[in-house]
Structure 1
């Protein structure tokens, strides 16, 4: 974070990563236009009305998940991703003394999802200590997958300059933050560590990596679309019921207003000015109650004057994690399938992992705000 905010050369290097995001979006558009025509971003066969938009989220933005998922699988099979994960795991061991199962899984969470990361150490989960298991769960909640990172960077490209660099930095910072938060909550004993951990191969060939990665991406895309439809509908339903209640301060009650009131002190505590804390609290609440996808999408669509650049930066770091109730179900299902004998223990740590994941991302957000004031 210091390098990104303090050194212009590093900042420009991270800004250049936006070119990579743009290139991935462009090649994805080539595929969506071929498959869906104007629905996928091609020229529409009609004249759009002034002010109207032909942008369709499900057909033009979300298919990026398919391409990133396939590329991630290829890089894993070619041993590029495992090499990066091993290097980051070594750094965690040298700086925080975290090795074995928890170290490799935490490092992997920076680049892959909360279910994919534990898969790399699946043979060791059954005998991992309770403390290491909790670190794995917290790291999953405190980071985001590379597939989603690129998508969120696309959402924030106008709101946060160099968004992909900030999201990557946030995910890297959230990994050690997860360890710092998780260890006091579930302390480890010296004999707990399993030091000899080797990441398993997942694919038989490059073509197997492409097909499997694409299939995994398709499941993720369909899940995102389905969750968006349901969550937007549920939020609208809650707002409809709240609107029946008496108005407060001249406006109807809504879920967004309630979350803003409840979490505005938290937003202020991590460095958001009080004048913007209500809006920031709404986004933080949306992130925890709904998911970070919806929160980043909302922030990217907000008028520029609603939040200051500093507040947007703090929220980018503070919301960069999977810690929400929908993700909890995904993680519990995945880990329980990998270590069925530990299911009761995993479920018992579930709610605590959301709390620790949120605390880790908020800690990183506060740090980003501090560094922005010093170097920004």
Structure 2
């Protein structure tokens, strides 16, 4: 039964994506088949084998160590601040982003990350049939983040046609930046975070190949990565530390606003209709939760969490997921994989703003296809969760 539901889920995702495709005649089915097989194999390895357990354990232990080191700096500044019977979310979850950001800066400065990103991207371009720029951008988005990644390809932003620009933006929304992966791991099981990161990378190519199919000629298939402006080591380090702190503060501000607004809306809906806004959304998203592999009796509950992520962000949804302790382990796993991406309404503004800061005209183009961007990124999350559900 599980396999039949998974097949149904994949067919639903493909059908909904195909229905809004820009050009159905240009869809190439062979790369799609290869990519979906790779997704299934990777999900099996990560979730059902000792090799996957070892890899995820190693990845999680690295971040566990990094968070321990980050705690040294946080405790030096904020030690002694305690909320009785409350989790100090900003201090224990968000502030370590500052340290992780500093490490990413060091790896960038020493040319280690650019080398890894470029050559993994080149290998992926052979598999997915897309251009080198698109493949580079997908890997870079998963490490640098949805705003910073466009800086590395800013030389080409202004020359890209609309369809290629869409794919770059879709990759940025479908993945998450490495600087906040540690924060996710304190909120949901690390194995689901790692699984989602890997599956979303390939899922982004699958959905983009259906929703926005095109071919890149040899003349167009050029990758020009922008070299960062020459800085001293400590200039760079200070910049990345401040960038990390800005991310932590922005996430904190968004959480304050969204959690409070959702509480207000729930109160209004409960008072007028006798049902909360999240439960109402849960009924709308329940069919998607079901085709992802969630048992029907938990589909409304899971759907409400999925909807919370879309209308607010993944942090708010992960906090909400933590409250639903009665849900089965299978449902928690599937929903967790779904939550690990930037597919929400606020990301439209973030990505459009990042592109506009580099090229105003192209930023306006991104804003115009913003809803389609969110639609595609959500399909990526549904696909990843569906494939993961096969092995949970």
- Please, what TM-score do these two structures have when normalized by structure 1? 0.88
Residue 258 (structure 2) pairs with residue 231 (structure 1): yes
Structure 1 position 79, deviation (Å): 1.4
Does the CA-based 8 Å contact 1:264-1:278 persist in structure 2?
yes
* Structure 2: gaps (5+ residues): 1-42
- Structure in which a larger fraction of residues adopt helix: 2
Q: Please list the CA deviations of residues 123-147 of structure 1 after superposition, one character each: whole Å capped at 9, or x if unmatched.
A: 0111112221111111111111111
1:185 matched to 2:217? The reply is no
Are 1:21 and 2:21 counterparts? Answer: no
Distance change (3 Å), C-alpha of 1:202 and 1:296:
farther
CA shift digits 1:207-227 (9 cap, x unpaired): 222111111111111111111
Alignment of 1:300 onto 2:300: no
Q: Comparing 318-327 with 20-29, which one deviates more in the overlay?
A: 20-29
Query: Aligned runs of 1:122-271 on 2, under 5 Å?
Result: 122-156=154-188, 160=189, 163=190, 165-191=191-217, 193-202=220-229, 204-247=231-274, 253-271=275-293
- Secondary structure at 1:174 match in 2: helix
Distance 2:221 2:157 in 1: 10
Q: Pairwise mapping of residues 41-60 of structure 1 onto structure 2 (< 5 A)? A: 52-53=84-85, 55-60=87-92
- C-alpha separation in 2, matches of 1:315 and 1:328: 22
Total equivalences in the alignment: 349
Corresponding residue SS for 1:121: helix
Native 8 Å contact 1:318 1:365 kept in 2: yes
Q: What is the SS of the residue equivalent to 2:56?
A: helix
- Structure 1: segments with no counterpart, 5+ residues: 248-252
2:329 counterpart residue number: 309
* 1:55 alignment partner, SS class: coil
Deviation of the 1:288 alpha carbon: 0.4
Give the Cα separation in 2 of the matches to 1:358 and 1:246: 29
Structure 2 residue 381 is the aligned partner of structure 1 residue 361: yes
**What is the CA–CA distance in structure 2 between the aligned matches of 1:203 and 1:152, rounded to whole Å?**
32
- Following TM superposition, the consecutive aligned residue runs of length 4 or more in structure 1 with deviations greater than 4 angstroms are none
Residue number in structure 1 paired with 2:34? none
Aligned residue in 2 for 1:250: none
Question: In 1, distance between residues paired with 2:195 and 2:220?
Answer: 27
